């Protein structure tokens, strides 16, 4: 995120991002996710398009019902997105938005952003590979799979032990190697379960 911001500091480049969290399902509605992206895009503008201003004021007036204004929020997001020459949208851990109807509504907004006219759109989404609706939404997009290997787990566990002053004094070298081997072996079967897919789209 910092790399994109530093590379494109100019106002005509929009940057919007959101991080999903499985612990925050009540707040993680499609409306709140879309509103978050819209807020990020608005923050980069010194002067907002009048259509966006009007929509924002309308939504603010009925802020208690903002969650139900999904279509108006989508219009606001598209209005803001279309005001940039280039747009970067980053969504982390989309699969952690567990409520499928909310996720699908949010995916619909992302799809609409990706086909904005006169705007070059770059979308970057991370997700574990099991959500079929996410797979379908990005089936034509390049994907990169990232998953831990046994050597990765070994390095991580070794580093944790050797950098903990309490553990390094308590654990003899032979026991340390047994701990590392056991954890790495058992974790290896879980590597596929924690794999993440990166979906990249270019328009």
145-172 pLDDT, tens digit each: 777 778 888 898 889 888 888 877 788 8
Using the predicted structure, report yes or no on whether residue 136 has a pLDDT greater than 90: no
Instruction: Tell me which of 16-20, 42-46, 56-60 is least confident.
Output: 56-60
Using the predicted structure, report yes or no on whether residue 143 has a pLDDT greater than 60: yes
Mean pLDDT of 5-23: 83
Distance CA 69, CA 58 (A): 10
Percentage of the chain modeled with pLDDT above 70: 85
pLDDT at 60: 60
- Give burial (CB, 10 Å; 0-12/13-18/19+) of 14: buried
Mean pLDDT of the chain: 80
pLDDT at 129: 76
What is the model's pTM? 0.71
């Amino acid at each position: 995120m910092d790399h994109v911001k530093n590379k494109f500091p100019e106002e005509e480049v929009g940057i919007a991002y959101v991080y999903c969290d499985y612990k925050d399902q009540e707040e993680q509605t499609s409306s709140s996710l879309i509103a978050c992206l819209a807020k990020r895009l608005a923050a980069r503008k010194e002067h907002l398009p009048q259509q966006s201003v009007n929509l924002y004021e309308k939504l603010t007036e009925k802020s208690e019902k903002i969650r139900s204004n999904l279509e108006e929020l989508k219009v606001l997001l598209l209005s803001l997105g279309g005001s940039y020459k280039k747009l970067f949208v980053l969504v982390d851990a989309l699969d952690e938005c567990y409520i499928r109807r909310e996720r699908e509504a949010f995916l619909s907004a992302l799809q609409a952003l990706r086909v904005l006219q006169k705007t070059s759109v770059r979308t970057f989404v991370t997700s574990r590979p099991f959500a079929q609706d996410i797979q379908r939404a990005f089936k034509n997009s390049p994907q990169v799979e990232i998953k831990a290997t046994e050597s990765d787990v070994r390095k991580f566990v070794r580093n944790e032990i050797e950098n903990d002053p309490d553990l390094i004094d308590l654990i003899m070298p032979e026991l340390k190697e047994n701990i590392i081997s056991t954890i790495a072996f058992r974790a290896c079967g879980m590597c596929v379960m924690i794999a993440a897919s990166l979906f990249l789209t270019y328009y």
